[in-house]
Each structure stands twice: as structure tokens, then as C-alpha cells.
Amino acid sequence: MDDVPRGKEHFVLVHGAGHGAWCWFKLVSLIQGSGHRVTCIDLAGAAGTFVDPNDVRSFDDYDAPLVDFMAALPDGEKVILVGHSAGGLSVTHVMHMFRHRIKQAIFIAATMLPFGYLTEQDVKDGAPDLSEFGDVYDLKFGLGEDHPPTSVALRKEHQRTILYQQSPQEDSTLASILMRPWPAALSTARFGCIHDDIESTVNTVRRVYIKTANDHMVKLEQQEAMIHRWPPSEVMVMETDHSPFFSAPEHLLELILKSL
């Protein structure tokens, strides 16, 4: 959909850990049905990239598909970035680099940290704590057991409980087929630098946060802590699980369009 009527927006959807462009299929249809343009990004290691997540050794490599997309935008075009979960890190990363090409950034149950995982507090607020569910991760050591893990996967038996407990069964089944391990390098995400000029620069992009009240992955108190530490322009809330693109896509679209 290249010919977009004047006044219509270009949404760029950025998935979270283990997911891919595929997870947005319901929202894509709804956005297109409302007359807007939409692009879904597959970050490195996602199912659509044919990249082994164990070969992705840095956050810059992981985020390269989004960075390349933003760099290739036509002069004068501004997009609305929508990041889910860990996709919030990717969104903030390109906010530092391409603020003049971003009309608005929307964070859905997302990690919203101005400089990534720079401090222990950042990790506490932004990284999932799933200890209450037991041993939920499978780690792969692509460089050998004497090196840190190269990829992380959420075990299938925990996926619905943690990610999709309010979503239709067929959607969580689809996700269990398409989800992949994600590069461990995602946990090293850091960008920008702590300096008043840089902070004010990244703050020139309007931000909206959509909270998910029944979230088991990025818990509500974590979302609220990130909002408190780096207040966005607007905060909305959905009474959903971590994945409203499955559990309440029509309401999600309603909030996204309302935020414009």
C-alpha cells in the first residue's frame, strides 16, 4: 500500500523477544482496514529473517533490520513506531538515531528505558522476572558451555500462562509454532549516553504508553515504574494479558488511533 491518502499514517510495528512480524497479523489487517499504511519489522533471529539467533552477538546486530528500515525512509517521511514488550528497546534505540523521522512512539506493555539496561534499576524495571513460574527458560550455548548463553527460549509449556492467558487458544497455538529463541544479546541493550542534550533530544519524540493490567511477563508494577521514571505524553490501559494484539486487537487499534 504505497499510495496513502493525505492525513493517513505509516505505522511501523516492532515485535518483542521470540516473536516476529507474524504476531501482528490481526492488527495489520485492522490498520489497513482503517486506511493507514503499516510495515512489520522482523528483527534479527526472528522467523522471517532466516538468521540463527545464536549468531546474533550484539544488540546492534539484533536491531539492524529496524535501523536499516529507518535509514532508508524517503526524505520528509515520518512514521509512528509501535513497540511491544522488548520491542520497546528497539524503538527507543532508533529514537536516539532518527528522531526527525518519527512522529510518535507507542509502547505496548513494553520496555521503556531512555538508555536501555544501563543500571540495576533499569534491569529491575524492564527485564521480566518470571521466577514465580519456576524454570521457564531454555538456554543455548553456541560458543560452548564455558561462555555465556547465545540464545534464550521460553519453554512451550509456559508460553500460554505467561504471554497469552486471555488470548484465543488458536492464537497461542499459532504462536507456539512460530516463536523462536531470541538472541541473548538482547539483554545487553544500551544506547545513547547520559547527558542533558542527549536526554532532551530523545524526549523530542512524543511517547504513548499502553499498559496491560493482567500482564504476567512485564508486570503492571514494572510498567508503572518505567512510566514514573520516564513519563510519556499519554498513558492508556487495557485489561488484557501481555499480548493484546491477540486478546483484544480491536480495542488496541482504538487506543492507537485515539493517541494520534
Catalytic residues: 85, 215, 242
- Side-chain-facing half-sphere of 156: CA atoms under 13 Å: 8
DSSP 5: P
DSSP state of 49: T
User: Which residue is listed with cell 548463553?
Assistant: 149
Give the strand order in the sheet containing 137-140.
137-140, 151-154, 182-183
Indicate the SS3 state at residue 92: helix
Other Cβ atoms closer than 10 A to 250: 10
CB atoms under 10 Å from CB of 153, counted, come to 18
